[in-house]
Amino acid sequence: MIWTIIINLFVLGVIICNGANDINVKIERHFPCSPSSGPSKENTLIRFPSYKSPGVKFEEIINAHGNKCFKLSGGKVEVFGKGLDGSKKYYVHLETRIGIHGKPERCVNADSDGCGGIGSCVHCDICKNMGGALKNFVEILQGGQPAKCHSEGLPKGSYNDLSLKVCLPSKKELLPFLDENSTRAQQLWDLFVSSRSKSGEIPLVVAARLFDRPINKLTTKELNDALHGKKIGMIGCHWIYATISQT
């Protein structure tokens, strides 16, 4: 279920970084966070394989609606300790940066509960894929079938049958997230791409941190403490480095 972490490399990064329907995404590398940027070893309940792990692969496919999709599969997902309780709601904070040394992009267009949005945002109750229209671009599979989440949870153990299919929204589908006015949305889009793109490529860095407690209504100070201080409730973390280009 927690493969939802990875979706935002495509969904959130592509939302503000691309200006055409043909989107090229190259995964440079991805790996679990160290205790300095993620949870401590004793508090880690789930760890995803790195790009160097045997069997990890990306497959490009086209869905029934003509959207470009990527299927991430292979490798072992490790669940530790008490496992993931199926009765809990899980939250992900995605720290999205343009470039390794870039500052976190601010969160825009979150809903009234502080969920969803574009940039460095909190995504709520990820097992139910809450957070707006873009949820339909993600399908989590276990054994080739839609994965069960709240009903069963994930007991302690190693899993090699989890995979994720992510379909990239088109520019037409994404512009309304920047501004309701189509002209202003286009201007914002062009400005973002021109200010961040070098040689037609945009480097994207994402830190995806998983929590087993609500973090969507924390103050800025409280959220910063949850991410970088006491890290209460943080149970997993993964870094993703990619290059995005458009044709």
The domain spans of the chain are: 23-246
Q: What is the pLDDT of residue 224?
A: 96
pLDDT at 20: 44
Instruction: Please determine, for residue 236, whether its predicted confidence score (pLDDT) is greater than 90.
Output: yes
pTM of the prediction? 0.77
pLDDT in tens, 150-176: 567 788 999 888 776 666 666 666 666
pLDDT score at 10:
40
pLDDT digits (tens, 9 = 90+) for 6-58: 334 344 444 333 444 455 667 788 899 999 999 999 999 988 888 888 888 87
Say which residue, 175 or 149, is predicted with more confidence.
Answer: 175
Q: Which of 53-57, 60-64, 135-139 has the lowest mean pLDDT?
A: 135-139
Q: Residue 195: its pLDDT value, please?
A: 66
Q: Which long-range contacts (CB under 8 A, 24 or more apart) does 212-221 make?
A: 212/45, 212/84, 212/85, 212/88, 212/90, 212/91, 213/91, 214/89, 214/91, 214/124, 215/91, 215/93, 215/122, 216/91, 216/113, 216/114, 216/115, 216/122, 216/124, 217/113, 217/114
Averaged pLDDT of the chain: 76
Mean pLDDT in residue range 186-209: 74
Q: Is the pLDDT reported for residue 237 higher than 90?
A: yes
Order the strands of the 46-47 sheet from edge to edge: 46-47, 77-79, 157-159
98 pLDDT band (50/70/90 cuts)?
confident
- Which of 4-13, 81-90, 130-139 is the least confident region? 4-13
